[in-house]
């Protein structure tokens, strides 16, 4: 695994998907409003992070790779802040497309005494216009000739349309670039042909309209998804404390146990897995080894509070601790 990590340095990975700005208002509560029976939060500070697909990019960058983000932002201050945050993390934002017809997706969380009081979403989900989608596809086609792996980060906000996703996978195949999909929703037709599709256990059950309670049921569901996704695709079902289950056509099922010792916060763990998988496949790892490394990276992240990333140093220490 250390040999694998050494090859991560500056390896280019393209991440396409829904970007969003995460805004946090931090404060405290001393009284109830006289206007309504609600707490009054006195804001003391404000912070911002780039979320959604940008968090996967942040994980690629923190692992030493060169992350390139493609997606949509609005022609507004939130979109500019996302670009500034990406630039500050050393993430290439040149493939972002500005859509003046919709606002940048923004999620504002009000937090008092370490507890989230309310979340306010400012967004306009829905499919992209034909012109904007065409512009984004043109950017993707350029970038696919410059990278060694790609991630589709679908948050269901409208960027990953069926047409865009299907065309992107076709272009990636032609460029011999592996594609890892972090899926959303129940229509997986648009993901056909992807190298790896990575739903969690709950999402897998919803797609197939069944409840998955046992490892055997998860394995059968994964096999059913494999048949649906077609030749060349694999399925990785993430299962929280039960680890991950990898299903490849014509190969035995592989159950990757969780590496986590203490779990403080699972936020962002899926983005970490996607980023680690992409980098591993980009540098020539087989899928099973890539999943082992991604499991270690996820274990690092869930041991941190809040949306976090795993660094090369974190992963090297995790490998040493595992022995």
| pLDDT cut 70: percent of the chain above it | 95
Identify whether 42 is part of a domain: no
- Specify the pTM: 0.92
Q: How far apart are CA 16 and CA 95, in angstroms?
A: 9
Domain limits for position 278: 2-20+50-105+123-322
Question: What is the spatial distance between Cα 248 and Cα 237, in angstroms, rounded to a whole number?
Answer: 12
- Domain contains 216: yes
Q: Could you give the number of structural domains in the chain?
A: 1
The number of helix segments (H) and strand segments (E) in the chain equals: 10, 13
What confidence tier does 264 reach under pLDDT thresholds 50, 70, 90?
very low
Phi first, then psi: give them for residue 207, nearest 5 degrees. Answer: -60, -40
Contact 7, 23 (CB under 8 A): no
Torsion angle, alpha carbons of 126, 131, 132, 134, to 10? 110
Widest distance between CA atoms in the chain: 66
Element (H, E) at 26: strand 19-32
What mean pLDDT comes out for the span 163-178?
97
* Per-residue pLDDT tens digits for 224-240: 999 999 888 999 999 98
pLDDT at 5: 85
Residue 80 lies in a domain: yes
Identify whether 292 is part of a domain: yes
Determine, yes or no, domain membership for 115: no
Please say if the pLDDT value at position 70 is more than 70: yes
Has residue 135 been placed in a domain? yes
Instruction: Give domain status of residue 25, yes or no.
Output: no
Pick the residue with more confidence: 261 or 71? 71
The CATH number of whichever domain residue 75 belongs to comes to: 3.40.1190.20
- Which entry of 18, 154, 271, 314 is annotated as an active-site residue? 271
Q: Give the mean pLDDT of 279-302.
A: 91
pLDDT in tens, 101-159: 999 999 999 999 988 999 999 999 988 999 999 999 999 999 999 999 999 999 999 99
Question: d(Cα 192, Cα 196) in Å, to the nearest integer?
Answer: 10
**Residue 38 lies inside a defined structural domain of this protein:** no
Residues 6 or more apart from 50 whose CB is under 8 A from it? 19, 20, 21, 22, 58, 82, 85, 86, 89
Residue 202 has pLDDT above 50, yes or no: yes
CB count, 10 Å around CB of 281? 23
**Mean pLDDT, range 232-251, rounded to an integer:** 92
Maximum average pLDDT range among 90-94, 258-262, 264-268, 295-299: 90-94
Give CA torsion, residues 104, 83, 158, 135, to 10 deg: 120
Q: Mean pLDDT score of the chain, rounded to an integer?
A: 92
* 271: annotated active-site residue: yes
pLDDT at 166 over 90: yes
């Amino acid at each position: 695994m250390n040999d694998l990590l050494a090859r991560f340095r500056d390896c280019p990975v393209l991440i396409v998907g829904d970007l969003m700005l995460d805004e946090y208002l931090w404060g405290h509560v001393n009284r109830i409003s006289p206007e309504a029976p609600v707490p009054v939060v006195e804001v003391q500070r404000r912070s911002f992070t780039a979320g959604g697909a940008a968090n996967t990019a942040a994980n690629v960058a923190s692992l030493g790779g060169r992350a390139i983000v493609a997606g949509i932002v609005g022609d507004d201050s939130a979109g500019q802040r996302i670009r500034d945050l990406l630039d500050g993390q050393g993430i290439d934002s040149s493939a972002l497309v500005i859509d003046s017809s919709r606002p940048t997706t923004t999620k504002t969380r009000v937090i008092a005494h370490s507890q989230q009081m309310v979340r306010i979403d400012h967004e306009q989900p829905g499919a992209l216009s034909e012109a904007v989608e065409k512009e984004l596809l043109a950017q993707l086609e350029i970038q696919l000739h410059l990278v060694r792996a790609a991630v589709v980060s679908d948050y269901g906000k409208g960027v990953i349309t069926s047409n865009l996703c299907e065309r992107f996978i076709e272009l990636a195949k032609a460029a011999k670039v592996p594609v890892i999909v972090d899926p959303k929703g129940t229509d997986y037709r648009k993901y056909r042909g992807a190298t790896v599709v990575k739903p969690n256990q709950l999402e897998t059950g919803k797609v197939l309209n069944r409840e998955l309670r046992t490892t055997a049921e998860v394995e059968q569901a994964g096999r059913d998804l494999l048949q649906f996704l077609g030749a060349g695709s694999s399925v990785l079902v993430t299962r929280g404390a039960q680890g991950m289950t990898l299903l490849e056509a014509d190969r035995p099922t592989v159950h990757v146990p969780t590496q986590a010792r203490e779990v403080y916060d699972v936020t962002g763990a899926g983005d970490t897995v996607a980023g680690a998988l992409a980098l591993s496949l980009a540098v020539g790892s087989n899928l099973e080894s890539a999943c082992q490394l991604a499991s270690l990276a996820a274990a690092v992240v869930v041991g941190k509070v809040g949306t976090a990333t795993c660094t090369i140093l974190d992963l090297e220490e995790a490998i040493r601790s595992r022995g």
